[in-house]
Amino acid sequence: MALRKTKIVATLGPASSDEAVIERLVDAGMDVVRLNFSHGSAQDHIARAELVRDICRRSGRPVGVLCDLQGPKIRIGKFENDRILLKVGDKFILDAACKLGNQERVGLDYKTLPSEVGPGAVLLLDDGRIVLNVEAVNGGEVHCTVAAGGVLSNNKGINRQGGGLSAPALTLKDQEDILTAVALEADYIAVSFPRSGADIELARQLVEEAGGHAAIVAKIERAEAIDALEEIIDAADVIMVARGDLGVEVGDAAVPGLQKRMIRTARMRNKLVITATQMLESMISSPIPTRAEVSDVANAVLDGTDAVMLSGETAVGHYPVESIQAMHRVCLEAEKEYDSHHLQAPINDEFEFIDEAIAMASVYAAEHLNVKAIAALTRSGSSVTWLSRSNTNVPIYALTTERNTRRKLTLYRGVYPYHIELPSQELSKILYDAEETLLRLGAVQRDDLMMLTFGEPIGNAGGTNTLQIVKVGEHRRERHLTASNTSREQP
């Protein structure tokens, strides 16, 4: 399979829980699986994660696991007959005390809604398909007039246009689900509807207290999150451009510009980005994407996103494997047109960390010496973060003994993580093994130039301080000469 820089996140669900299907998803190019905690039990998620990792052990290809927390449940209740039809001009009541809804009213899972809205507020139901103008609030009743009608069915979501609902990002269910995510050794945990950096820090604290090491993903899907964007990015390890709920709150026309700003800002602050929601939506029921969807995915790649995500396409769609294959093709073609230079760090920037300076020096030298591959020996993955942000056209092979590091690096753009054994602390032996690994992978050939980054003394996490450029085969020749000389010296 051709090397693809942009990573693919795929959601598992009823259409993709079978072992044979997951194997095909891995073969097709899935890099990270998403477990959606809005559906299924804790045991379901644990079993799926174990199955994915068992398949990965057999295939030798690492796949990361992202656990996506449900977040606050801001929804209407159920109807007596499951659904109603609302017409423009109809009067309709959102009633916190209602048990079963009818043509005139429906209940609320989010009981504090009446205290958070007033006359003039605009409520958007079912991803904005139904629009209600609030006329009055009477106790626990929100009296509305229908501005855009249609069929409204059970448990549809509620957004307020412009944001402003105060539901906490981490519910009691989310806090319990964090324990499940830690138990299944999640590599990433996504926080839904954060409003500030404090929401992300709380999630990180809960993960650490539970003994987990997952990186934290902030899903940007509230209007308030845009106002606190830099604060949230700084607190998180990754952001997700969650275009569904965000588009409902800020308006669909604002999303493309915000997406570009979020990707640009995250990259400038050395954080990862996942672009998500309806990327190949038509492939839920069609074996090929629309031209508009192809352009949407390609534009996210051209903007510099680390990963693109599939949701219903792989979770409940008829063509989960074909969706991965289509995403793979589109990313590869877009990457051919990608101009990395407009996102490069200026050469006169002042570096704060030694491993950052090594990474930037590696990229500059690699681009000017026709280096075929960069091999980064890493424990924590820190140095690889800088390499990934550099937008180099040279493939980055992250070689690590650490299983958790290898899994996390599956999300990094342009980075290909592999296991390496380090039975010896002898530097020449370690570098020889790194070279042999790249030869075995077909990343380099004899007499190619390759680059190695590592830390001395060997084994210190976050200690990358050395860059070496070698011609492939020299380590082998040096070892042969050393062995021959030693043999002649023996009696």
Question: Is residue 72 reached through a cis peptide bond, with omega within 30 degrees of 0 on the bond before it?
Answer: no
Contact 345, 389 (CB under 8 A): yes
Catalytic residues: 34, 75, 219, 277
**What is the residue-wise DSSP string for 241-295?**
EEHHHHHHHH-GGGHHHHHHHHHHHHHHTT-EEEEESSTTGGGGT-SS--HHHHH
Separation in Å, CA 59 to CA 177, 290, 375, 406: 29, 32, 22, 15
Distance CA 335, CA 2 (A): 12
Contact 414, 304 (CB under 8 A): no
Nearest partner of 6 among 414, 309, 417, judged by Cα: 414
For residues 87-117, one letter each, b for 16 or more C-beta atoms within 10 angstroms of the residue's C-beta and e for the rest, the string is: eeebebbbbbebeebeeebbbbbbeebbeeb
Distance CA 7, CA 414 (A): 8
Q: What is the largest CA-CA distance in the chain?
A: 102
Beta sheet of 130-138, edge-to-edge order = 105-106, 91-95, 141-148, 130-138, 122-125, 158-160
Q: How many CA atoms lie within 13 A of 441 on its CB side?
A: 26
Separation in Å, CA 422 to CA 378, 409, 415, 457, 476: 11, 19, 20, 13, 17
Contact 10, 30 (CB under 8 A): yes
Number of neighbours of residue 59 by Cβ within 10 angstroms: 12
